[in-house]
A and B are shown apart, each in its own frame.
Chain A
């Protein structure tokens, strides 16, 4: 059930934004009608203060948030997973030190760190993806480290060591495959967090520059028109929620299926 709803929501958002050039009735950055006209047959979601079509902006804005979130997740998964597996495998002092650094970072509010990083790097989609990617490294590190330590002490690894298998073979043939299911679950749920952080950075103006559409950025532009442009405010925000909900349902649904997470 969760999995199905998750798949449906993710497909909806991904397809709408991927097919934006074909579906969007207007150019998202150009005037398409009167300013602040309410939703109607010509503008499904109304227009913004500059007369741009909100529906077209929502479609194109999806490309930005999904692109940045996926890139960020890829980055943090690659870095965190590798480090975690390494740390869990070698153990000892190196492991204790790395673990302490990651635990400290994990305790710190990720958004505040992302704001700090984004503010020194300057606003751009790539920088935003980097900032988001860095703050979620500890999430993958913890998962990979803990699971590596469990798998490392299992009998089949001991057997491989006894048979004289080289280290790289133990890591890549015996440990890594056992971590993949967890990685998929954690990464899918993490896309939801990355999307929320992306929206926050966009809301503060650290992702794209106007007139490029981005849901978080559009939400912050719409704030000043809360009294006479509520439709403009509600649609990009609702899509942020739908996207994040879709990915977290998908992740939890997958986790349940693989027996990786406790129910509820």
Chain B
């Protein structure tokens, strides 16, 4: 099967998943509370205002019509208008926040891959006590409650040592001009090195926190795949042929890493929910903080829009991971 065909088929297979998740969200946010606007705003606002909000959000229609409206909204990218703050377009609000989450998630992912490689590799290579240490590391880091470890790191590195800033994405005034919304990239593109350094300095603690907590999973993945591969015949053959151990390990690594790519994709859910916790801990202005603050403000449309965007990210990334996997391993393409 050609790669293009594979991509098309894989994308088509994602449609049911997308519909299922969108339906779950609809059910949770609309069917359980009956009328979400009444549930959220009801007690605290005059009835005429509530009625107006219900009409604006289209919640006076029967449930099946609402469901179709909702799906139409999602597929046209029009997520409605916020119920607060001058009724901004929800999609625009989300686009403002999405890059911050992306920057944090990518940085944390890189940190966890790096930590996962170091400990996973050492554990597989040396075994014994080092293997045990890596195992303990994997178990302990997995249960580190993110707000706890994040605040503890803040306490040590920001409050006591004063090395890193306590919170936020950048020192006010040093924001780079918006091109992609990713501060690191934008500051480089516009040639502002001081903004770049400042953004990196702000990113350090949050991304380390999230990366540390996720790394346990990667330690296990890399360690287990390496151990398995090192036990295979081709490795013994290389060793028997007298290749230096370094080369043998490198060849084994290249084989072992392929199956871990799919497994890494499965950690996306952990990465996203970890990002929500990390953002709140470090006052990081991303999607997670948007979701939680709008729940506080009873801004129903933005809450729904944000959860829908999380659904879209999950579905898209799952397809992307499979495509990357197909690029790395042609056998995958035939398997579909």
Contact = CB atoms under 8 A, between A and B. Distances in A.
Size bracket of the B interface = 35 or more
Contact of B17 (A107, A111, A248): A107
A240 B28 contact: no
Interface stretch (B201-209, B254-262, B271-279): B271-279
Nearest to B134: A264
B97 interface: no
B151 A108 contact: no
B84 interface: no
A110 B273 contact: yes
Interface in A76-125: 100-101, 103-113, 115-117, 119-121
Interface stretch (B29-37, B59-67, B87-95, B171-179): B29-37
Interface stretch (B45-53, B73-81, B138-146, B326-334): B138-146
Contacts of B276: 109, 111-112, 115
Interface string B116-151: 000000010000000100010011101111111101
A223 interface: yes
B310 interface: yes
Given A108-B314, A262-B224, A116 B29 contact: yes
Contacts of A121: 32
Interface residues of A, number: 45
Nearest to A197: B273
State the 10 A-B residue pairs at the shortest beta-carbon distance, nearest first: A237-B148, A111-B273, A109-B273, A244-B143, A104-B20, A120-B33, A109-B269, A109-B272, A240-B145, A104-B17
Given A119-B303, A237-B148, A244-B145, 17 more contacts: A100-B20, A105-B21, A107-B17, A107-B266, A108-B311, A109-B310, A110-B269, A112-B307, A115-B292, A120-B29, A196-B145, A199-B145, A199-B147, A200-B277, A226-B154, A245-B143, A264-B123
15 contacts: A100-B20, A108-B310, A109-B272, A110-B273, A112-B310, A120-B36, A196-B143, A230-B159, A233-B151, A233-B152, A241-B143, A241-B144, A264-B135, A264-B220, A264-B223
Interface of A: 100-101, 103-113, 115-117, 119-121, 192, 196, 199-200, 203-204, 216, 219-220, 223, 226-227, 230, 233-234, 237-238, 240-241, 244-245, 248-249, 252, 262, 264
